Amino acid sequence: MSQVRTITRFAPSPTGRLHVGNIRTALVCWLAARADGGSFMLRIDDTDAARSTEDFVDAIRTDLGWLGLVPDGEVRQSDRFALYEAAFETLHAGGRVYPCYESEEELSVKRRIARGRGLPPIYDRAALTLTAEQRHSLDATGATPHWRFKLDGAPIAWDDLVRGPQKFDGTLMSDPVIRRADGSWLYLLPSVIDDIDMRISHVVRGEDHVSNTAVQLQMFAALGARAPAFAHMALLVGTDGKLSKREGAIGVGAIRDEGIEPQALLALLARIGTSDPVVPVAAAVDLIEGFAFGHMGRAPARFDSAELAQLNARTLHLLPFDAVRERLPAGIDETVWLAIRPNLTTLGEAAAMFATIEGPIATPAFDADDRIFAGHAAEAAQTLDWSAAPWAALTAALKGLTGRKGKTLFLPLRLALTGQDHGPEMAALLPLIGRDRAIARLRAAAG
């Protein structure tokens, strides 16, 4: 018998841009599938026609593409209503779904009464006691029912891949509404039908879905299917507790516009909330090897934008030229990239750094001493062997000639040669600036 590979699905609702929370879910789905040579599927949860938009569907695909989390297949719930209808009929025939006629107001009164009596505010199943006649006369008044799934009272338990053993008492839960009076679907049942149909082996999602899982496990059983494994990830929080509104709502587009590399975002999201250290990677595939559900903790995962910014810099420092060449300004070749890379915090800074090589640069306003020093430097630069290590040779010559050392030696040179008081290693920059430009800049600084 061939071994069943992991099949995961990422199931966003196209009602907004992907934010850090869903990206983490998508990433973990992708990692779990890739770690096992399995499949990562995209399921567009667009049963809510009023709130779903085509633009958001496109944005989800674009965002996943930018992140490099490319799905092996895609389904849309709005294409699958016939499948849901058929499963619904099966459940109806088996007595596992039933029509209810209560209005929202009636239900809220019932809940208030239950609470007043110190009882859990669960649905009293009054609709189950309606006779066929009562139902017909309700239907005759034009009332259309909504539908609930009938839970059985058996204890519900599963071994969550992140949270460990979970237990729920079905008798303390309301039969969930699965379909509205207008025939539209709520999330719970279609998700189960799809998970069965798509042979999903692992459902990975946030811990806010834990009680949904309790209910959905009974739906899998009612449909005669084996339930997948479940992994409920702890929620993401910000540095001071809750994820701030900005951090929580920040979409992929905004993250990209801030100059964050997808690898940096993925490297952070793959490891926060786990027992593993956050390390920069050059490509998302490098995260696969260390992935294990068992490393994920139950404590909230802390998302820190400052940590992301730092990780972004560390990521750039290890990206090869090929990974960035298409996004670099014209003229930056591999040698320039390797020279400027260690100083970048975002790729957008590359243009300004390249300008310090290409020029023109601002001539520094030196005092008399520094002007004389720049004049010596210009002369020394003319006699250097530029084919070897010109920076070491230039500084050694000037040290001997002027007695300057440390900052008084290096800073005026950097200023004169690049127009900046900081930047990439001069040893790497000077050969790129080249003899002629270097001499001209030093002469200009000498005044």
Which residues of this chain interact with ligand GLU, rule CB under 6 A?
11-13, 45, 187, 191, 205, 209
Cβ contact 263:287 at 8 Å? no
**CA nearest 221: which of 185, 198, 195, 183?**
195
* CB nearer to ligand GLU: pick between 11 and 162: 11
* CB nearer to ligand GLU: pick between 134 and 184: 184
User: Tokens 């690898």 appear where?
Assistant: 263
* CB nearer to ligand GLU: pick between 235 and 319: 235
CB of 191 to ligand GLU, least distance (A): 5
* CB nearer to ligand GLU: pick between 80 and 110: 80
Which residues on neighbouring strands pair with residue 203, listed in sequence order? 230
CB of 186 to ligand GLU, least distance (A): 11
Alpha carbon distances (Å) from 171 to 97, 107, 380:
16, 18, 88
* CB nearer to ligand GLU: pick between 49 and 93: 49
CB of 76 to ligand GLU, least distance (A): 12
Helix (H/G/I), strand (E/B), else coil: 148: strand
Distance between CA 422 and CA 367 in Å, rounded? 19
CB of 100 to ligand GLU, least distance (A): 24
The secondary structure element, H or E, covering residue 157 is strand 155-160
* CB nearer to ligand GLU: pick between 13 and 408: 13
Geometric angle at alpha carbon 274, from 342 and 265, rounded to 5°: 40
CB of 209 to ligand GLU, least distance (A): 6
| DSSP conformation class of 327 | G
CB of 13 to ligand GLU, least distance (A): 5
Alpha carbon distances (Å) from 447 to 210, 285, 395:
72, 54, 20
Q: Which residue is nearest to ligand GLU (CB)?
A: 45
* CB nearer to ligand GLU: pick between 215 and 272: 215
CB of 97 to ligand GLU, least distance (A): 19
Cβ contact 159:128 at 8 Å? no
Distance between CA 394 and CA 176 in Å, rounded? 78
